Amino acid sequence: MLMQAGGSGAVDGALVHLHPMLDLLPAGACICDVRGHITHCTPKAVALWGCRPADDGVGPRWSGAMQLFDEDGRPIPHNASPLARAVSDGIPHHGRRVQFERPDGSRRHALCYASPLLDANGAVVGGLDLMVDVTEQHRAAQAERDRVRTQGEQLVALACEIRASLTPLRRTDREASARALDDQLRHITRLVDRVLNLEVDAAD
């Protein structure tokens, strides 16, 4: 969504009345000028980045985070972030997933909704980025993928064990004792029960 800033081109001054409302949003938000300097950021944005952008104008532009990564962990240059792209292209860049690396080395995952800010003449004077923290959803999805992978490995191991248990039965001659056969069948039954229990857990 494009937003209108004042005709003076001073993006922060034109939007200062929006700061209290941005601070109340459930998502992090930041405003930058056309050069990428952060002119305002909300407490939730600072929590995502793990730090507040430097006011000296020499720190990272386009984001308060020192490092940015895409959802696959590949580095994103600051000047290729969703906010930078929105300002340079003059169009919104919505729904891109970005990882923000914090000073302690941890990362937060966010969906970014960046839009250019326009003055009364339609010129781009800055940008607004809304950042929805989806770290917990990402962790839950990763845990589910790990669980499914582990369960698959267990099923493969059990299938191999069942096949190995069947081999002596195929090779047993007619004079094999009924007790030996019964022991093998009991063992196979236990293995099958374990497979069924894994499948029930997967269904749940």
Ramachandran sector of residue 111 (left: φ over 0; alpha: ψ -120 to 50; beta: rest): beta
Q: Three-class SS of residue 10?
A: coil
Q: Using CB atoms within 10 Å of the CB of residue 164, give its burial: 0 to 12 exposed, 13 to 18 middle, 19+ buried.
A: exposed
Fold exhibited by the domain 3-133? Beta-Lactamase (3.30.450)
Judge whether 28 and 133 are in contact, CB under 8 Å: yes
Domain ranges of the chain: 3-133, 140-203
Q: What is the pTM of this model?
A: 0.65
pLDDT digits (tens, 9 = 90+) for 78-119: 999 999 999 999 999 999 999 999 999 999 999 999 999 988
Q: Which of 100, 88, 180, 193 is nearest to 138 (CA)?
A: 100
Q: Three-class SS of residue 130?
A: strand
pLDDT digits (tens, 9 = 90+) for 25-48: 888 999 999 999 998 899 999 999
